[in-house]
Structure 1
């Protein structure tokens, strides 16, 4: 597994804005990914991952009338260790509220959205992979199409949830697709580690991209770090710029 640390100064050399392969990824439409009438299940390691990972896809599926289920594995309360402004107690309440606002900004039908909150402790998910897999499988049913973070995304929790979700998909016998988040911010010299042969591109129109960007800005706790105690923004400027690309990538 490759660990990721996003530095603003390294932005010009990152895969998302420098890899030639991005232009040649085959395009896939939503109907090919999620058949008519099928339910899409999105498994997010932390609050906000569902928007950054597939905020565009969620909008497209909602517009087409697909039933949606979101599984949030953690509440994200450990994102600011040592912070007095953003204590774990405050974040355990605040981050789910941010998610509600973000999904509202995406235009999702909050009255009918099935939303499961796992309450697992973040930054420790690799130790509970087997438990996670069975937890996720409990909420799956035949015909579902499952989405989660890539198993080699470069973040311990993302990787663990990707592996657990893959195992849950095998248990339930449903289709599973992976979506990279932090991997796009690897140095361009690491582009050979990306499984380009599995990549498919979902095109997003201007309005869909705008709503995704607007939704990401609902996560106020993640937009500003605390330099005094060495905490960088969890949603740095370079990531906010990258999610304004007119497509999302899925590994099928």
Structure 2
């Protein structure tokens, strides 16, 4: 989840995790169960702009689904090759290889084998310029009835938003079902923020074991948690706290839900 070329909404430390934990609006959201969101026989395809986005967004859900034997696929849009903190001299090619390995290790902790991961190889920080190519790459990989989990089209990060738009187009063309997930939204939004369609959000409470697996999976993304002396890592502790709450959120479809969508 790189901080390269951030949208204007993303600056400073954003809204602290404690503010979200105490938010009555979130506490009152309708609840879903993980298995109701992905019934037996349905496939989850997670389309992640950067390595670690799949864990930040739905890591707890992936752990539960893999344990239940659901069919899972993770499509990595970019390799996160420019996601380095200030002052880090790591070359892009070297970082890309590192982050691919971190993704494999993190997803293995959630129970996903290496063959569940499909890299797409788009340029980190440049997904907007390759949005059409991303749609074309997704089309042969999606099936009717898939539930495609990806970043919200208004998430505040250009790569996240372009990925969300491309997934929406590919889902419309293939008969897959789009499920958008806020990731950077928790940084720039505030409780009750009118820019967020709160009525679409659903909450999925994570069992302690799922939250622990998510935490341990994120801990394997060392390149994003470390920084040279005096610099800030890509994922500092105050940011991680927002994504390591014992709950994950998804957005119900913006139009009439398809058959089987939990209310």
Cα deviation code 1:88-134 (max 9, x no counterpart)? 1210111111111111222x1416x4211011101111111122112
What TM-score, normalized by structure 2, do the two folds share? Answer: 0.86
What TM-score, normalized by structure 1, do the two folds share? Answer: 0.90
The answer to whether structure 1 residue 78 and structure 2 residue 82 are counterparts is yes
CA drift at 1:241: 1.4
| Residues 152 and 160, structure 2, Cα contact 8 Å, conserved in 1 | yes
When residues 160 and 109 of structure 1 are mapped into structure 2, their CA distance, relative to the original with a 3 A threshold, is closer
Secondary structure in structure 2 of the residue aligned to 1:143: coil
CA drift at 1:85: 3.4
| Residues 12 and 18, structure 1, Cα contact 8 Å, conserved in 2 | no
When residues 13 and 102 of structure 1 are mapped into structure 2, their CA distance, relative to the original with a 3 A threshold, is closer
Q: Match of 2:260?
A: none
What is the aligned counterpart of 1:104 among 105, 108, 121? Answer: 108
CA drift at 1:80: 2.4
What is the aligned counterpart of 1:32 among 24, 31, 36? Answer: 36
What is the aligned counterpart of 1:222 among 221, 224, 233? Answer: 224
**Alignment length (residue pairs):** 247
When residues 88 and 200 of structure 1 are mapped into structure 2, their CA distance, relative to the original with a 3 A threshold, is same
CA distance in 1, matches of 2:205, 2:18: 21
CA distance in 2, matches of 1:98, 1:197: 35
Q: Specify every segment of 5 or more residues in structure 2 that has no aligned partner in the other structure, as ranges.
A: 1-5, 253-263
CA distance in 1, matches of 2:217, 2:191: 31
| Residues 88 and 228, structure 2, Cα contact 8 Å, conserved in 1 | no
Secondary structure in structure 2 of the residue aligned to 1:191: coil
CA RMSD of aligned residues (A): 2.3
| Residues 41 and 144, structure 1, Cα contact 8 Å, conserved in 2 | yes
CA drift at 1:226: 4.3
The answer to whether structure 1 residue 119 and structure 2 residue 117 are counterparts is no
1:174-193 matches, within 5 Å, as: 174-188=176-190, 191-193=193-195
CA drift at 1:216: 0.5
When residues 118 and 83 of structure 1 are mapped into structure 2, their CA distance, relative to the original with a 3 A threshold, is farther
Q: Match of 1:132?
A: 134
What is the aligned counterpart of 2:165 among 163, 166, 173? Answer: 163
Q: Match of 1:3?
A: 8
| Residues 15 and 186, structure 1, Cα contact 8 Å, conserved in 2 | no
What is the aligned counterpart of 1:61 among 50, 65, 68? Answer: 65
Q: Specify every segment of 5 or more residues in structure 1 that has no aligned partner in the other structure, as ranges.
A: none
Q: Match of 2:241?
A: 241
1:197-212 matches, within 5 Å, as: 197-212=199-214
CA distance in 1, matches of 2:244, 2:191: 23
| Residues 84 and 224, structure 2, Cα contact 8 Å, conserved in 1 | no
| Residues 52 and 103, structure 2, Cα contact 8 Å, conserved in 1 | yes
CA drift at 1:14: 7.8
When residues 205 and 48 of structure 1 are mapped into structure 2, their CA distance, relative to the original with a 3 A threshold, is same
CA distance in 2, matches of 1:81, 1:224: 8
Secondary structure in structure 2 of the residue aligned to 1:201: strand
Secondary structure in structure 2 of the residue aligned to 1:117: strand
